[in-house]
Amino acid sequence: MRDVAIVSAGMTRFGELWESSLRDLFVEAAVEALAGAGADHVDELFVGNMSGGQFVGQEHLGPLMADHLGMAGIPATRVESACASGGAALRQGFASVASGMSDLVLVAGVEKMTDGADVTNVLATAADQETEVYHGITFPGLYAMIARAHMAKHGTTEEDLSWVSVKAHRLGAMNPKAQFRREVTLAEVMASTMVSDPLRLLHCSPVSDGAAAVLLCPLADAKRYTDRPVKIVASGGATGSMALADRKDPAVLDAVVTAAERAYGMAGLAPKDIQVAEVHDCFSIAEICCVEALGFVCEGEGADAVRWGMTALGGKIPVNTSGGLKSKGHPVGATGVAQTIEIFEQLRGEAGDRQVEGAHRGLAQNMGGSGASSVVHIFERV
């Protein structure tokens, strides 16, 4: 396998972007990534997207996006793993460069969610249709059950969940691409509308439009495109039980544990070797479960990590310096690539007010559904 580097990135603002269509968003992010590397062509394109068909009546995004980028001809493939589609696309781009099939690969994630689709029901198609969705449950309900399981087992409180949101907005307020650039107080979070007990509105990531793109090449070629490449040192993918009811312990995200083990194993690293991480906080309970599953803290200590500032900027392991899905926004197919961009910028020292000093290695963890799929990538400054 060849070593693989990220040499450039591009990203739209996340938000309710009514003036931009699905293809507009993609092109904006892709052109920025290409321009950053001085590249006007790529060998292959991977597009992460969850539900173009259901959201805006558009499948077949590989050729559509290649065409609108002015690159009709290149191999172009859409990859889907629900809200982990962006991370899954990065994994395929990594394999393409690592295998030698392609030398310069664009990986982009994109989603257009605000064009009138019944968003909650579209997102629910990422859960088990026959044993979950048919009976009426949607994602706030599934994550509320995960939260209740964590509370019952570890004594996690509504206040713990709320500190995750406070931290997310504090960091997102510093991110010019974030959907919500304002801080929220603990009192505001705890007084926000109840969505699915115990999850309130400000415990939930929003409905968003957006796109994000990164350019990959063999590490040996990276200096052609940038002085500061970032190496992808590991790609770990895993699945777990699709239905929440089938899991041994709903408070443990098995797929994240396994994907992380594979990534650490491939890199020959441990959680302590990571200085900055983006994790999949689609709901605030998810961040708590993910920091445990990634081994940053022991099981049951995820709430303490946020409460005592361990995952804050300046803490032992800053998590979601971008503002996370909660504050930055969550255009589902774009999220995994946007997480990667935050780590890319952190490792290049370009994260501005959000910069983690001395960050040498970073991790991005993307997750689909109620955690049935997860992809973990580890990155290193070179």
Interface residue with a copy of itself among 242, 260, 305, 310 (CB under 8 A) is 242
* CB of 60 or CB of 272, closer to a copy of itself: 60
Q: Contact, 340 vs 90, CB < 8 A?
A: yes
Q: Is 135 a catalytic residue?
A: no
| Length of the chain, in residues | 382
Quick one: which segment of 87-95, 293-301, 310-318, 335-343 binds a copy of itself (CB under 8 A)?
87-95
Task: State the minimum distance, in angstroms, from the CB of residue 266 to a copy of itself.
Answer: 9
Interface residue with a copy of itself among 18, 35, 38, 100 (CB under 8 A) is 100
Q: Contact, 161 vs 203, CB < 8 A?
A: yes
Q: What is the residue type of 367? A: M
Q: Which residues of 39-50 are buried (b: 16+ CB within 10 A; e: fewer)?
A: beebbbbbbbbb
**Structure-derived torsion over alpha carbons of residues 198, 134, 365, 286, reported in degrees to the nearest 10:** 10
Is 76 a binder of a copy of itself (CB under 8 A)? yes
Q: Contact, 93 vs 42, CB < 8 A?
A: no
* CB of 129 or CB of 185, closer to a copy of itself: 129
Is 75 a binder of a copy of itself (CB under 8 A)? yes
Query: Could you say which residues in the range 342-381 bind a copy of itself, by CB under 8 A?
Result: 368-369, 372-373, 375
Binding mask 117-146 for a copy of itself (x = CB under 8 A): -----x-xxxxxxx--x-------------
Task: State the minimum distance, in angstroms, from the CB of residue 59 to a copy of itself.
Answer: 4
DSSP bridge partners of 364? 278, 377
- The one catalytic residue among 150, 203, 280, 330: 330
Is 95 a binder of a copy of itself (CB under 8 A)? yes
Query: 3-class SS at 41?
Result: coil
| Pairing mode, strands 105-112 and 230-239 | unpaired
Helix (H) or strand (E) holding 325: helix 324-328
Is 261 a binder of a copy of itself (CB under 8 A)? no
Task: State the minimum distance, in angstroms, from the CB of residue 365 to a copy of itself.
Answer: 14
Quick one: which segment of 93-101, 204-212, 215-223, 277-285 binds a copy of itself (CB under 8 A)?
93-101
DSSP state of 135: G
Interface residue with a copy of itself among 18, 35, 99, 194 (CB under 8 A) is 99
Interface residue with a copy of itself among 6, 7, 42, 64 (CB under 8 A) is 64
Classify the C-alpha dihedral 63-67-68-69 as positive or negative: positive
Q: Is 330 a catalytic residue?
A: yes
Q: Tokens at residue 134, please?
A: 């048919």
Is 27 a binder of a copy of itself (CB under 8 A)? no
User: Which of 315, 271, 290 lies closest to 167 in space, CA to CA?
Assistant: 315
Catalytically annotated residues: 83, 330
